[in-house]
Amino acid sequence: MCGIAGIVNLNGELVSEAHLEKMSAFMKERGPDNLGMWVNENVGFSHRRLSIIDLSVNGHQPMLDRENTIVITFNGEIYNFPELKIELQKNGVSFTTSSDTEVLLYGYKTWGIESLLSKIDGMFAFVLYDLIKKKVFLCRDRFGKKPLYYSFQNSQLYFSSDIRSITPFISNIEMDYEALDFYLTEISIPQPKTIWKNISQVYKSSFIELDLTTRKWNSKEYWRLESNPKLNLNFQEAEKLVEQKLTSAILKRTISDVPIGCFLSGGIDSGLIVALLAQNSKEKVKTFTVGFSEDDFNELPLAKKLAERYNTNHTEIIIKPDIENEIFDLVDYFGEPFADSSAIPTYYVCKEMRKHVTVALSGDGGDEMFGYNNYAYMEKVANFLLKNPSEIRRSTKTIISKVQNRFGVKVENLGALNDFCKDEKSGIALIRGMAFMPNEMSMLYNKDFTEKAPTFSMSEVKKIWSKYEKEGLTDKIFLASLDTRLLNDYLVKVDRASMKSSLEVRSPFLDKNLAELAFKLPNEYKINNGEAKYVLKTLAQKHVDQDIFNRKKQGFGIPVKHWLKHELKNLVNEHLSSDQIKKRGFFNPEYVSRILKEHNSNVVNHTHKIWSLLWLELWCKNFLKH
């Protein structure tokens, strides 16, 4: 895994190597093994390398073809590069390295950018310059696992894996208050936006083509998941296919010239990865589990039980974080406001794992492919809509259920289902409300700031929801969640938390072939009688825990509430004081004071609200110029 950056001067101005070096300085953790730069007049690329495949100098980047007509700077892993390499060799291409980067170079020369992107399977962000056609391509993987920021500024294009590399070159940088509004609800920034109006991200499953001759550019999507038509197969056939595709996804992610380990929680997703890998590996699997010393509950016992079953080389990590000092480093490294507190344990386990391995497999994506618990409720709503297509019929059934309950006949109250049907087109299902709900914003913002920060969150999720208007309700929540919680939150968390420790994390559940199968499965195989991830759980019965259906889902007990009242108490009092809130000018100091008072007196648990406000203020002090 690596860090990439570059400058393209459309005005013909020569690129400064000093500027490239300045951009690369922010990415030392992403690529501690080598710094490479390439400059050709008005185009310059840099690359910081974390050596994973072909550890020799032959794998260094930026990399050029033999004719010096194509140059690439690439961050990521292409899991099917051995097969593509054989295909290219049959077309007469010869290779000088064993790296996947060279396959990208000659894949582009042979097939063109769109065919190349359709063929490759992996996680990636790369920028390629065709010196003959005078075209630059900025490309990002299907799910958006690897970041790729860019900005057009005064006839100059800047791009980087790290947003901090770009901001020093923007003279009129301006905060995006719509992005801020979304952050305060969903604790992350909505892509392709960033916290800065002047900087964007290449969107997932997309590439940008920039023509240096005409100065025109356009963005194009190269892949989209399809949920219909559904596959015609019985459950046993579906289960077997899922096991085969997941096993294949795991094994292809073990291609590496450096040591590999696995995250292991007590959950289904990481448990299946460890179990299937252990059954298909000649070597002992290295597994790692993390817990906090303050936890009332942690997953160490469940993870240890599975590790013993498969005789893994298991490491338990008990975290005693120096959170009051390290939070400043994390705020800086993330580069944008980000208030998912599970980034803390993710960072600590990555930090510890890096002492033992360079690559790790994780269970990220299992929920998005096979269902969260709240997706089961959406399936219930979908069935209610199917049986009661007219609003009159739904309202009548709702009234009858209420009357029956009032007279002692215990039936399901259909009021909540009917209310959701009324709001079905609003996208409200995508709002997690992790910090502030949209209807709380009028209380949070101060009067002067309200005009700058319109209520953006609902319009954003409605736009995403409408992208999938032709889909059924259950498929819609699956697809739209890839554009929201997975893209904006979970993948950002894993990328930043792992790369700060120079650890590459690979996610078998976010495999192209597995994802395409998952979305074609009949929904009742994924959500069965209210049971989410049903097909994964039946697999887990065989490979993880026979009693998996009776196990209650347990979240990771991150002690943020404890920190806010103890280790971070002084930080909260200083940065969220009425004087500081007034000085910042965003929020109503009386409302923030009320939140703090209610939380400290245990009237209401406002942990997520306070955490999001604290992270934001620390970010503002670090990055805002005023």
Q: Catalytic residue numbers?
A: 2
In whole angstroms, give the CA distance from residue 49 to residue 62.
Answer: 10
Query: What 3-state DSSP class applies to 38?
Result: strand
Torsion region of 529: left, alpha or beta (phi above 0 gives left; psi -120 to 50 gives alpha): left
Question: If we measure between CA atoms, which residue out of 570, 70, 573, 160 comes closest to residue 325?
Answer: 570
Query: How many other CB atoms sit within 10 Å of the CB of residue 251?
Result: 15
Cis peptide before 259, with omega less than 30 degrees from 0? no
Question: Please, what is the Cα angle at 32 between 29 and 34, to 5 degrees?
Answer: 140
Distances (CA, A) of 278 to 313, 357, 542: 11, 17, 14
Q: How many residues does the chain have?
A: 626
Contacts for 560-568: CB closer than 8 Å, 24+ residues apart: 560/341, 560/344, 560/607, 560/611, 561/605, 561/607, 562/294, 563/323, 564/599, 564/607, 564/610, 564/611, 564/614, 565/600, 567/323, 567/324, 568/323, 568/324, 568/327, 568/614
Distances (CA, A) of 194 to 182, 187, 191, 281, 618: 11, 13, 7, 41, 17
Strands annotated E in 34-121? 34-40, 43-49, 63-64, 70-78
In whole angstroms, give the CA distance from residue 442 to residue 120.
Answer: 46
Phi, psi dihedrals of residue 585, rounded to the nearest 5°: 90, 5
Question: SS3 sequence, 244-286?
Answer: HHHHHHHHHCCCCCCCEEEECCCCHHHHHHHHHHHHCCCCCCE
Query: How many other CB atoms sit within 10 Å of the CB of residue 374?
Result: 12
Instruction: Retrieve residue 225's tokens.
Output: 């998941």
In whole angstroms, give the CA distance from residue 159 to residue 152.
Answer: 9
Query: What 3-state DSSP class applies to 5?
Result: strand
In whole angstroms, give the CA distance from residue 264 to residue 299.
Answer: 9
Query: How many other CB atoms sit within 10 Å of the CB of residue 293?
Result: 10
Torsion region of 383: left, alpha or beta (phi above 0 gives left; psi -120 to 50 gives alpha): alpha
Question: If we measure between CA atoms, which residue out of 284, 273, 305, 227 comes closest to residue 539?
Answer: 273
End-to-end CA gap in the chain: 35
Answer whether 370's CB lies under 8 Å from 540's CB.
Answer: no
Burial letters for 295-330: b for 16+ Cβ neighbours within 10 Å, e otherwise? beebbbebbbebbeebebebbbbebebebeeebeeb
In whole angstroms, give the CA distance from residue 625 to residue 122.
Answer: 38
In whole angstroms, give the CA distance from residue 168 to residue 536.
Answer: 47
Answer whether 208's CB lies under 8 Å from 359's CB.
Answer: no
Question: If we measure between CA atoms, which residue out of 570, 190, 616 comes closest to residue 445?
Answer: 616
